[in-house]
Amino acid sequence: MRKFTREGHAIYHADCTDVFSSEICDGTVGLIFADPPYNIGKRFATFVDKWPTDAAYADWCKVWIDACIAKLTPTGSMYIMTSTQCMPYLDLYLRDRMSIVSRIVWHYDSSGVQAKKKYGSMYEPILFCVKEANNYTFNAEDIRVEARTGSRRKLIDYRKSIPATYNTTKVPGNAWFFPRVRFRMPEYENHPTQKPEALLERIIAASSKPGDLILDPFAGTFTTCAVAQRLGRQSIGIERELDFVKIGLRRLGVCDELDGEPLRPLDKSYKRRNANGVRIPEPTDQPTLF
Ligand SMILES: C[S@@+](CC[C@H](N)C(=O)[O-])C[C@H]1O[C@@H](n2cnc3c(N)ncnc32)[C@H](O)[C@@H]1O
């Protein structure tokens, strides 16, 4: 296990279960965002996320879920993601241990490979759970979005004692549209399942206060920690793959080299080539005529 810190933010290169047992006190974490491997056969640097059965995957999840629940403050919240096919296992387990406040669907535009013999996968489920059903942080005013029903034309609600226009903003519902992170986006890092900063912004703004401690046990590119840093929260991010830890170290400004290796941002410039490998000119390469 290796630990790096900077001004209220800690990055661990470790298995999260090792960090839980020795490094984080019970009852100290205000918000957990857990985005584990989904058990769908995706490659993460040195391992492929496939368990022998869904039940074996669920057993693995139950171990870290129990540890996460213990780390939460009494008013703490946990958001958990996994694949659509595995979420029922976690939902059934969690509903006996926490209060599930919302079952959220994060949906997005079509994936690169189009499904031909089934409906393409266009969403991922998120469970929003709290320890105490009647006592948890939820900053509704900090996450309001534009209300699209009626408000645009300033329709008047005549059911009120004094008729007034409908609200122009509202607390978001449980179907969230955020584009997936694509190569040319400024936030893109080299990771197969990076989550959008906008998704984490909503979760952190809603379910934590400035200064709260936020834990991400499967940090990947450390999106949670980077957004926590920007929003004035503290964070702990844990990641078992060194390549991804390096991304976190750079993204959070912890250091700009590790063991003598410079931590440089990804080079996103690319040259388009045709089938023969000949470079296709970019629009900016075209000769000007006038
Ligand atoms: C779904 S990705 C998380 C992506 C992340 N939310 C982001 O925005 O980049 C899951 C991550 O968990 C890491 N991981 C898998 N098993 C782990 C474990 N036992 N402890 C810590 N990290 C683990 C994987 O290497 C992978 O980067």
Using CA atoms, how far apart are residues 72 and 129, in angstroms rounded to an integer?
A: 11
Considering its fold, how many domains does the chain have in total? 2
In 32-44, which positions are buried (b, 16+ CB within 10 angstroms) versus exposed (e)?
bbbbbbbbbeeeb
Residue 271 has what pLDDT? 66
Domain extent at residue 146: 142-172
Q: Which atom of ligand 1 is nearest to the CA of 47?
A: 25
Quickly state the pLDDT bin for 284 (edges 50, 70, 90).
Answer: low
Q: Are residues 36 and 99 in the same domain?
A: yes
Q: Are residues 26 and 77 in the same domain?
A: yes
Q: Which atom of ligand 1 is nearest to the CA of 217?
A: 21
Q: Are residues 153 and 218 in the same domain?
A: no
Is residue 173 within 8 A of residue 103, CB to CB? The reply is no
Q: Where are the beta strands (DSSP E) in 123-255?
A: 123-130, 145-146, 156-157, 164-165, 169-170, 175-177, 213-216, 234-239
The identity of residue 176, as a single letter, is W
Q: Are residues 92 and 212 in the same domain?
A: yes
Using CA atoms, how far apart are residues 165 and 209, in angstroms rounded to an integer?
A: 32
Residue 269 has what pLDDT? 73
The answer, yes or no, to whether any atom of ligand 1 lies below 6 A from the CB of 246, is no
Q: Which atom of ligand 1 is nearest to the CA of 195?
A: 8
> CA dihedral defined by 149, 155, 160, 162, rounded to 10 degrees?
150
Q: Are residues 197 and 227 in the same domain?
A: yes
Query: Candidates 15, 199, 214, 218: which one to mutate for ligand 1, based on the most atoms within 8 Å of Cβ?
Result: 218
Q: Are residues 166 and 178 in the same domain?
A: no
**Residue 213 CA, ligand 1 centroid: distance in Å:** 19
Per-residue pLDDT tens over the stretch 167-192? 788 999 999 999 999 988 999 999 99
Q: What is the mean pLDDT of residues 269-282?
A: 70
The identity of residue 30, as a single letter, is G
Q: Is the pLDDT of residue 155 over 80?
A: no
- Looking at every residue in the chain, the average pLDDT score rounds to 92
Q: What is the mean pLDDT of residues 61-73?
A: 98
Q: What is the mean pLDDT of residues 226-232?
A: 98
Q: Are residues 187 and 55 in the same domain?
A: yes
Q: Which two tokens stand for residue 287?
A: 């000769």
Query: Candidates 240, 243, 266: which one to mutate for ligand 1, based on the most atoms within 8 Å of Cβ?
Result: 240
The answer, yes or no, to whether any atom of ligand 1 lies below 6 A from the CB of 228, is no
The answer, yes or no, to whether any atom of ligand 1 lies below 6 A from the CB of 196, is no
Using CA atoms, how far apart are residues 90 and 70, in angstroms rounded to an integer?
A: 17
Lowest mean pLDDT across 130-134, 180-184, 222-226 = 180-184
What Cα–Cα distance (Å) separates residue 114 from each residue in 117, 118, 152, 183? 10, 10, 35, 18
Quickly state the pLDDT bin for 210 (edges 50, 70, 90).
Answer: very high
Q: What is the mean pLDDT of residues 141-166?
A: 79
Q: Are residues 102 and 37 in the same domain?
A: yes
Please provide residue 10's backbone torsions phi and psi, each rounded to the nearest 5 degrees.
Answer: -125, 135
Q: Are residues 56 and 164 in the same domain?
A: no
Q: Is the pLDDT of residue 227 over 60?
A: yes
Q: Is the pLDDT of residue 287 over 60?
A: no
One DSSP character per residue, 172-195 reads: --SEEE-PPP-TTSTT--S-TTPP
The answer, yes or no, to whether any atom of ligand 1 lies below 6 A from the CB of 240, is yes
Q: Are residues 55 and 151 in the same domain?
A: no
The answer, yes or no, to whether any atom of ligand 1 lies below 6 A from the CB of 89, is no
Residue 278 has what pLDDT? 75
**Residue 37 CA, ligand 1 centroid: distance in Å:** 6
Residue 290 has what pLDDT? 46
Q: Are residues 121 and 204 in the same domain?
A: yes
H or E segment and range at residue 69: helix 54-71
Grouping H, G, I as helix, E, B as strand and the rest as coil, residue 110 is coil
Long-range contacts of 258-261 (CB under 8 A, 24+ apart): none
Q: Are residues 49 and 161 in the same domain?
A: no
Closest CA to 67 of 31, 102, 19, 131: 19
Q: Is the pLDDT of residue 203 over 90?
A: yes
Lowest mean pLDDT across 121-135, 164-178, 184-198 = 164-178
pTM of the model: 0.91
Please provide residue 87's backbone torsions phi and psi, each rounded to the nearest 5 degrees.
Answer: -60, -35
Lowest mean pLDDT across 3-12, 234-243, 261-270 = 261-270
Using CA atoms, how far apart are residues 95 and 199, in angstroms rounded to an integer?
A: 23
**Residue 64 CA, ligand 1 centroid: distance in Å:** 13
The CATH number covering residue 285 comes to 3.40.50.150
